[in-house]
Amino acid sequence: MPRLGTNRYGKAEVRLLRVTRGGADGDALRDWNVSSSLSGELEAVHLSGDNGNVLPTDSQKNTAYAFAQRLGGVEPEAFALALAEHFVSSQPAITRARLAVEEYGWSRGAAGHAFVRDGGEVRTTTVVHDASEGTHVVSGIRDLVLLNTTNSEFWGFAKDEYTTLAETKDRILATQVTAQWRFRGTDVDWAAARTGAREALLTAFADTYSYSLQQTLFAMGARILDAVDAICEVRLVLPNKHHFLVDLTPFDLPNDDEVYLAADRPYGLIEGTVLADDADEAPLAWT
C-alpha cells in the first residue's frame, strides 16, 4: 500500500523591492526574490484533497509583502527569520517553515534616488524554523566570478591510458563561487558577518598560491571561519573555469601567456565543506 513521504509546499520566487525613503545618503533599496516552503500535518490534502490545513501560497506571497512593509529595510536574515517564525506560530498544522531569500545588489548613482544594478553576484539566505528542532540560518553568495592570472599550478596528478592533460607550473585559475556559511545561532550582526565572510573569501583566493582548486577551496573556507566567529561551517561549490592558451603559430605570432580561450564547458566541478573544530552536525540547516 503506498504511503506519503516527505513533502512541503510554498510560494516560490516572490519578487519584492523595498524602498526606504529619505536616509542621510538618500533612498535605500532591498531587492529580493523570496521563496517560502511549509511542512507539517498535510496528509489529508495529499490523500483526500482536504485543504483545511493548507495556508494558500497566495497568502504566503502577501505575507512577504506585508512583512517587508512592517520590518523596513532589514537584513535578509532578519526578514527570513521573522517570516519563518510567523508561519509556524500562526498555523497550528505547520511545524516547519523554510524561507530562502536572494538579494540583488544595487550601487548608488549620481543622486540619492539613482541606482545602478550591480553585477551577477547574488547574496543568499535560507532560514529553517522547526517547532521542535529549532532554527538554523545559512547565508552566502553565488555567481561571484574570481580569477587569478598566475600563482596557480597543477601537476603530479594521477594518470591513466586516457590522460592527455599536460602538467603546468603556471596557469590562470578562475571560478564562479557558490559559498554558503552556517551560523551558530541567530543573535548575529548579519551585515557585519556577511562583509567579513566575503572579504575573507576574496583575500584567501588572492593570497593562496594554489596547487589545486581543492586547496584553494579549503583555504577560502578556513579563512571565513577564522574571520567570523559566528560561522561554524562553510560549504563551497567551485567550477573550474578553464582558460586555454591559444596557438597563434599559424599566424606567425607569439603568445607569451597573453591570449587565452575562455571555455565555458565542460568544466571541473570542485565541492567541499570546511568545519570549525567545535561544529555540530545540523542537517536540518541544509534541507
Domains defined for the chain, CATH in brackets: 1-132 (3.10.270.10), 140-287 (3.10.270.10)
Q: How much is the pTM?
A: 0.93
Q: Which of 205, 34, 36 is nearest to 104 (CA)?
A: 34
> 11, 129, 136, 241: which one is catalytic?
11
Question: Exactly one of 129, 136, 241, 242 is catalytic; which is it?
Answer: 242
| The pLDDT value given to residue 24 | 81
Active site residue 63: no
What pLDDT is attached to residue 114? 86
CB-count exposure of residue 25 (10 Å: 0-12, 13-18, 19+):
exposed
Tell me: pLDDT of 74 over 90: yes
Q: Which residues contact 285 (CB under 8 A, 6 or more apart)?
A: 126, 128, 136, 137, 138, 182
User: Confidence class of residue 18 from pLDDT cuts 50, 70 and 90?
Assistant: very high
Q: How many CB atoms lie within 10 A of CB 45?
A: 16
Q: Which three cell numbers stand for residue 112?
A: 540619492
pLDDT at residue 182 in the model: 98
- High-pLDDT (> 70) share of the chain, %: 100
pLDDT at residue 287, rounded to an integer: 83
Given 6, 57, 216, 287, which residue is catalytic? Answer: 57
The dihedral sign for the CA sequence 42, 47, 51, 56: positive
Instruction: Tell me which residue has cell 606567425.
Output: 252
Count of residues for the chain?
Answer: 287
**Rounded average pLDDT over 185-189:** 97
Average pLDDT score over the chain: 96
How confident is the model at residue 56, as a pLDDT?
97
Is 242 part of the annotated catalytic residue set? yes
Mean pLDDT of 243-263: 94
Calculate helix-pair angle for 213-227, 190-207, nearest 10 degrees.
140
Q: How far is CA 99 from CA 59, 83, 128, 197, 224, in A?
A: 14, 7, 7, 21, 24
Q: Does the pLDDT at position 22 exceed 90?
A: no
The sign one gets for the Cα dihedral 43, 44, 50, 52 is: negative
